[in-house]
Every structure is written in structure tokens, then in C-alpha cells.
Structure 1
């Protein structure tokens, strides 16, 4: 007899921000397959409902709940966590994923309003979600849980013309380490997953060519976003006395080590 050692994550509750597309969608579906009840958060309800319908068609054990939330607005974030506390009384995982970028441009040509929009979503939005997740995880019994921040390869090395996005992702590294340190006493763990070239609508163009630091344009390899979901699930499956602080997952043949 062959034993199935795969462990389902039943009776757990998670939030995935930016769950309507790309990495967030892949992670949400991956968690739902594992039996996790998911709150699909994002600004576009039609895309969130699409994610939910896919999960229903797959007959996933986890139940998907759609909630419209602009993470850059504290009122939206607070309401989302109040709803989760009311419905479930606890939160086991926040996949802090929602983020935006700008078209490549030199620093002197970036408009302040565009810069601020990136910072509001990528830093302030992640802070707000982490703050309210932390509050709930600290209050619930048994207390504790996991926050996984979507960092990016850009948390280490920039692409040309991406000052706003790169700055925001470097900031997330500081947020991750601070939460991981401050959360120890309450069993609140924080990880950062730095992703390179997961296949999404945004990276589809990478196969045609991406500008490199020397000005050349090269095709770049991508990887399946479902492999990111597997990494998130691996971290989530760990006991709360064990943490993966940083994890880098990337397309094997993408330029990274020599980038810049």
C-alpha cells in the first residue's frame, strides 16, 4: 500500500490580496485545493468572482469568499478584517500580494502622483493589511498565524526605469523583518517570497523581449505561477515554531544574478 503523505490544510482561514489575477489568483486557487477557506480581496469584483468560479468548478474543499477591497484605503482594509473576525473569529494566513507598477521611465520623468500611487498600494497597502492581520492574530485563541509578503526579485536588484516599484519592494524587506521580530512573542510569523518572472498577463511580453541594463532587448524565461502557490503552501504548512524568513523563487533561465 502506498501512503499519501500529503497533508491537507483543513479548517484554516486565509486572505489573499490581489486574488483576481496573476500570482494572487494562482495562490488563492492553490490554497483552496488544500481545503483552506479563502477571502479573495481586490478592487475588481468581476475578476475575484472569476477566481471563485474556477475554484467551484474544480470542486475545491476550501470555500472562496469575494470581498472588494482597495488595500490603500484603511476603511476598506478595516472592514475586511472586521468581516473575517465576525464570520470566522480567526485568521491563519495573510498572503500580502496586491501591488502595482509603472511603465519603465527614468527617475526625472516619473510624476509624483504616479510615484505616490505605487507607494500607497505597495507599501501602505501591505502595511495596513499586515497591521490588521497582526491585531486579529494576536487577539485570537490560540493566537498566532502567518503573514507572507510578496516581495519580488526587485527587492534585491532593479530593472531599468523602475525606481518606484523597486523602492517599494525594498521597503517590504524592512517590513517583513520588523513583523518577524515583533511577532515572535505572539507566534505571528512573517515571511517574504521574492518572485522572478512568474507567468502572468504582465510577464507575457517578456517572451518577446525586455530591456536590459546595457540597453539591449532580450527574451526572458518565465515559470508557472502555480509553482509560487506551492511555495506559499509549503511555508503555510510549517509549524508556528519554524519560519522561512526569505524565499526566492524564479524562472531558472531568467537574468538575475548578473542583472544590473
Structure 2
């Protein structure tokens, strides 16, 4: 039986790399994001486009999320893995200069979107036969150690860690498990500016080492293929020479 995965934020970056890696591993995949042209490009890069289905929508929209999961069941009949990947960050500015609207937008995408997708996945995991499934949350090294002037992003990633632990605990009796993958300096549109110079705690702007995002996609596919009796609670993958351990 072919396994089925949903990847949110699949139009670029980590989501695209993960979809490609899952496709190489033989998965059927539902790609979800706002940008339909970019979603179709991701689909074209997958090994078997017949096993890839595209759904356009926004993780912050309750109706869009419900449609995503219903479409997945209609198209493939079950769900085995949800990769909660969709997320945004903001430019580094002091918290006293940050508009409430910007803070709320990051919370809506990074945390509320995670909740909405997790809720719908759990419904399916509990009701399907065989019961169970795996959720992989895109955390960040910022779930543990912040960058300067990153309060909203850091707060949401700390919250995602709490969601990960709660999901794992509450799903235990239903063969549902949850992993948080914490990524540092993968070469994507979101993080790529760090290679040109990132603000450090001492006030300097220093270029940082990056890693190929392909390695992240392969890590997601590895975790997805583990049996449900095996849990990886947190999985850190980062560029070896980036500042994290001992940051600041």
C-alpha cells in the first residue's frame, strides 16, 4: 500500500525539497500552498507526477485547511504523514518598532496554521484503518535559541515545540506520533540572506555558513518512513559551521 503525505508550504524551499524527496521514496503526496504556479512547478519536479496532487489554499484559513484534508481522503483514501512546513519570518527589527499586525500574521501562519492542520490530521488518523499516522512539524533552532530582534518568530517556534510534545502525548494511545525537525541555515529564499550577512548578538553583521536544502528534504523523508512504533521527538539539522551552539 502506497503511503500518503501532505506537505504544506510546498511551493518552494524546504517544502519543495521534502516533496521531491518523498516522491523519490515512493510516496503519494498532496502539495498545499497559496501560489498555484509554484505548486505545479514542485509537482513537475517530483519523480511520479501521477502520485502528486495539488491543492491551493492558506493554512490560516479554516475552510481551506478542511478542504485540503477532505481532498486528500477523496483522492488517495487515507493519510499517513502530515508535514506542517508552512511558515514565515520577518525582518529583524526591535520589538518596540513592530506593528501588532506583523506579529499576529506570523502567529497566524506559524502557530494557528499548525494547529488547524494538526487538528484535521488527528481526526483522520483516529478514524482510518489501520489507525494512526505521523506529524512532522517544521520547528527551528529558534525553538531553543533566538536570533536578535526575532520575538514573533522565536515565540511561535517555541510554541510549535509545545504543540509537538502535546500532539505526541495525546496521540500515543491511537498510534499517532509527532516529530519536530529543527533546521538551521538551509539555503532557501527565507534563510538565504544569512549567507550575505546576519545580525549577531554582539551587533555585528556576519555572513553565515549555509547547507543545501536537499539534505533537509532527505531527513524529512527518512523520518516519514520510520514505523509508527518509533518516535523521533526532535531532529536537529543545520550547517556545521553556523552559529548556534554557544550563540551569543
Bin of the TM-score, shorter chain as denominator length: over 0.9
Partner of 2:227: 239
Cα pair 1:71 1:129 within 8 Å, conserved:
yes
1:117 aligned to 2:105?
Answer: yes
1:132 aligned onto 2:120: yes
Matched, 1:174 2:165: no
1:204 Cα deviation (Å)?
2.3
Scaled by the length of structure 2, the TM-score of the pair is 0.97
* Kept in 2: contact 1:35–1:61 (CA 8 A): no
Indicate the residue corresponding to 1:148 in structure 2: 136
What residue in structure 2 maps to residue 89 of structure 1? 77
Structure 2 residue 241 is matched with structure 1 residue 253:
yes
Q: Per the alignment, in what secondary structure is the counterpart of residue 183 of structure 1?
A: helix
Equivalent of residue 44 in structure 1, options 35, 41, 55: 35
2:213 corresponds to = 225
C-alpha displacement of 1:61? 7.4
1:15 to 6, 10, 34: 6
> Cα RMSD (Å) of the superposition?
1.2
Matched pairs, number: 248
Q: Which has the higher contact order (CA 8 A, sep 6+)?
A: 2
2:159 partner SS? helix
Cα shift at 1:182: 0.4
Alpha-carbon deviation of 1:238? 1.4
Deviation at 1:223, TM superposition (A): 0.7
Q: Unmatched 5+ residue regions in structure 1?
A: 1-9
Residue 42 of structure 1 contacts residue 70 of structure 1 at CA under 8 Å; is this kept in 2?
Answer: yes
Question: Whole-Å Cα distance in 2 between the matches of residues 61 and 50 of structure 1?
Answer: 11
Displacement of 1:60 in angstroms is 3.4
CA deviation profile, 1:54-98 (whole Å, cap 9, x unmatched)? 22xxx4377211101200011100011111122222100000000
Q: 1:65 maps to which residue?
A: 53
